[in-house]
Chain A
Amino acid sequence: MKVFINVRLKDAVLDPQGAAVKDILTRAGYDFVKDVRQNKLFEIELNGETAPVQLSEIADKFLANPIIEEFKISR
């Protein structure tokens, strides 16, 4: 079984990488692009069933830095 944990910078935190991607798209003429935020997606293969609380623990303790980032777990 596989789960996906997406980590993104909180909205209040400036994302210079996303801003740089947005700039290059605008410069290339894609003027319909309003904003870009760059996220990190972890694909995690599990050994059988895993409690959601354990997944949250991984995300909170390792994959995301809660000071600047937030995460979302999906299957």
Chain B
Amino acid sequence: MKAGIIRFPGSNCDADCFEAARDAGFEPAYLWHKDKTINVDLVILPGGFSYGDYLRCGAIARFSPIMEAVFEFAEKGGLVLGICNGFQILTEAGLLPGALMRNRGMRFICKFLNITVETNSTPFTRLYGIGEVLSIPIAHGEGNYFSDDITLNELKKNNQIVFRYHGENPNGSLDSIAGISNRRGNVLGLMPHPERASKLLLGSSDGFRLFKGLLG
């Protein structure tokens, strides 16, 4: 299975995602933000500061040429994983509902914390137990998830809240949301960095099964 990691100008977690995907058994390749076609089984939008996070985080990357192909890929049921800035791009693009706003405490937070797996009926979490607590780092200034009440109720009703912060809510996220999927379950966005917790040498390997599980 092939994994394509999109490089936007300002992406900086692309190499980490490449390694995590490779270690899980994918054949990884980099995709360029100007590419017009995608020929992989999994698309990863990595973290970073695409286009300098000008305007709003992810707002400019969302209009990159490759995004048309990402829309089409997701529409056909292809697996799309957005991590951190990648999550922000997916919400700006409308592939996931809601928005990510400035952290409530105004600070950029970079640290390991615990998140809970809320559902394992997505391809991304099928190797985890429901309620399992994972140690995975966050590194963001704008991870404060927001949506209106109608959207939040939809997310709950359709089991789309995939990860929640466990204990402390670091950024003020609505309902402690750390990651959500689309209704169909083939698009996932999360603020924590599973690729930075993909082997014990990095401090935790709790994120590894996310990549492993996608091999089906």
Interface residues of chain B: helix, strand, loop or mixed (majority): loop
Given A14-B172, A67-B146, A68-B146, are A62 and B102 also a contact pair (CB < 8 Å)?
Answer: no
User: Would B103 and A16 count as touching, CB distance under 8 A?
Assistant: yes
User: Would A16 and B99 count as touching, CB distance under 8 A?
Assistant: no
Listed in ascending order, the chain A residues whose CB lies under 8 Å from chain B are 13-14, 16-17, 20, 62-63, 65, 67-68
* Cβ of B180 to closest chain A Cβ, rounded Å: 14
User: Would B106 and A17 count as touching, CB distance under 8 A?
Assistant: yes
B130 interface residue, CB < 8 Å from A? Answer: no
When C-beta atoms are compared, the residue in chain A nearest to B171 turns out to be: A16
Report, as a range, how many residues of chain B touch the other chain.
Answer: 10 to 19
In the bound assembly, the distance between CA atoms of A20 and B55 in angstroms comes to: 20
Listed in ascending order, the chain B residues whose CB lies under 8 Å from chain A are 55-56, 59, 63, 92, 98-99, 101-106, 146-148, 172
In the bound assembly, the distance between CA atoms of A55 and B21 in angstroms comes to: 43
Q: Which residues of A contact B101 (CB under 8 A)?
A: 13-14, 16, 68
Q: Which residues of B contact A63 (CB under 8 A)?
A: 55
User: Would A20 and B104 count as touching, CB distance under 8 A?
Assistant: no
In the bound assembly, the distance between CA atoms of A20 and B106 in angstroms comes to: 8
Q: Which residues of A contact B59 (CB under 8 A)?
A: 62, 65
Q: Which residues of A contact B105 (CB under 8 A)?
A: 16
